[in-house]
Amino acid sequence: MRVATWNINSIGARLPKLLEWLERAAPDAVCLQELKSTPEAYPLKELEEAGYTSAVNAGGRWNGVAILSKVGLDDVTVGLTPGPGFPEADGPHEARAISATCGGVRLWSVYVPNGREVDNPHYAYKLEWLGALRAAVAADAAGPRPFAVLGDFNVAPTDKDVWDISLFGENSTHVTQAERDAVTALEGVGLREVMPRALKYDVPFTYWDYRELGFPKNKGMRIDLVYGNAPFAAAVSDSYVDREARKGKGTSDHAPVVVDLDV
């Protein structure tokens, strides 16, 4: 079974690229983030024609998540439930999480808040959201079936996961210890990171800014992560970042992370 996660950065704008990639990579299930789509504008028909059913949590604006599957889509849960409640920022219930069971594997697609700057209220919101995520996934993580949280975490786990840590000032998010601790706290509920293997470069970055030739110069970050429970991690046969999907015009600024499972 092949699963993947991809911050698509507008499913409307990237639909041709997404459909092309689905045909080439042939994933069984895909977690998407940053749909930037209303429920009405979501390309349900086009994806069904490509062989994928969808579970969608879309609210327009800049967020939105989905799970695509061609191996079944059961027990869909929208948002961070069960859990202690949903953190709020500009408004309640932002479309940042969705979960479903695909071919016997339980998957969560998450789009963690950016945080903006350390002294911005959205930074505290980001930490609160990650804490709520940990509580929400605890039951799934402890179960016997393969389970994983996949998505854009907006956190680089180590200094090596950014192209030049010296360029990140004291007010920069994505690299603070508090953010990193909030992500690694997922290990406390039985999850572990599935690290993609290096291909062209030593560190498999997943995001490159559109500006200043970020991708050609490999000025990237590794912020799209996969955390799986023990049955999921034991089933992993391969994992990699599909850099080919980032090449060319009209692409997302993220690349898919692909995980192959023997299940």
From 28, 140, 152, 242, the catalytic residue:
152
Q: Judge contact between 206 and 254, C-beta under 8 A.
A: yes
Cα–Cα distance measured from residue 254 to residue 263, given in angstroms and rounded to the nearest whole number: 27
Domains detected in the chain: 2-261 (3.60.10.10)
pLDDT at 172 over 70: yes
The confidence score (pLDDT) of residue 60 equals 80
- List pLDDT tens digits, range 82-95: 665 556 655 556 89
Active site residue 254: yes
188-243 pLDDT, tens digit each:
999 999 999 998 899 999 999 999 999 999 999 999 999 999 999 999 999 999 99
Helix, strand or coil, per DSSP, at residue 52? coil
pLDDT for residue 48: 98
Tell me which residue of 243, 123, 239 sits closest to 174, measured CA to CA. 123
- The per-residue pLDDT for 81 is 77
Give the least confident one: 88-92, 128-132, 174-178: 88-92
DSSP 8-class letter at 198? P
> Whole-prediction pTM value?
0.96
- Rounded to whole angstroms, how far apart are CA atoms 132 and 117? 20
Pick the catalytic residue from 111, 123, 125, 227. Answer: 111
Enumerate the known binding-site residues for Mg(2+): 7, 34, 152, 154, 253-254
89, 59 contact by CB (below 8 A) = no
**pLDDT higher than threshold 60 for residue 70:** yes
Per the structure block, which two tokens stand in for 108? 């969560």
Residues annotated within a binding site: 7, 34, 152, 154, 253-254
Active site residue 207: no
Query: Is residue 183 within 8 Å of 155, Cβ to Cβ?
Result: yes
**Of the candidates 127, 134, 109, 252, the residue with the CA atom closest to the CA atom of residue 185:** 134
